[in-house]
Amino acid sequence: MSVNESGLPGTSPSLPTPGLPTPGFQTPCFQTQRRVEFRDTDAAGIVHFSAFFVYMEQAEHEMLRSLGLSVAARDEQGEIGWPRIAAACEFLRPARFEEILDVEIAIGRLGRKSVTYDVRFACGGTAVARGTMTSVCCRIRPGQPPEAIEIPEAFAHKLRSLGRADEAVFVV
């Protein structure tokens, strides 16, 4: 795998329409881009590992907004939130200040109470990192711990709209 050692910004191909299959995933996904900011880099000028977790969360929020959803919602019973129960990221090559990262996020698994997102990062067509995040749908009440609840059907339906159920893993 070749790495651009110059640290100069690379060019990024135009992204396909959100919701269409892409080469990085076997399932349809949402796509966005992130420019690497100086604050995201370490003393060596490479994106600090922790920034990728922020990028994953930003991509999740963008994807949900594109579907008319949010991680902070209310229904007739009160507040609903999506606390993380797991997050992981594998780093494949360095990314540097000013580079444009292509970010793809797909539904890896949709359960009754949780959702796992698969996220891939590339720069100029070269894989940079891949990660996963799992969140649980919870009822949020002041002064009480979050309580896991079933994902509201309207929310689950919109998540499924990213692709056909036979193209991704949807657990009943």
Q: What is the pLDDT of residue 7?
A: 33
Q: Which long-range contacts (CB under 8 A, 24 or more apart) does 144-153 make?
A: 146/81, 146/83, 148/113, 148/114, 149/80, 149/113, 150/112, 150/113, 151/110, 151/111, 151/112, 151/113, 151/114, 151/115, 152/75, 152/80
Residue at token pair 């900011």 = 37
pTM of the model: 0.79
pLDDT exceeds cutoff 60 at 25: no
Banded pLDDT at 27 (limits 50, 70, 90): low
pLDDT at 163: 62
- Summary mean pLDDT of the chain: 83
Classify strands 114-123 and 126-136 as parallel, antiparallel or unpaired.
Answer: antiparallel
- pLDDT, position 26: 55
| Model confidence pLDDT, tens digit, residues 91-146 | 999 999 999 999 999 999 999 999 999 999 999 999 999 999 999 999 999 999 99
- Residue 69: is its pLDDT beyond 60? yes
148-171 per-position pLDDT tens digit? 999 999 999 999 988 643 444 444
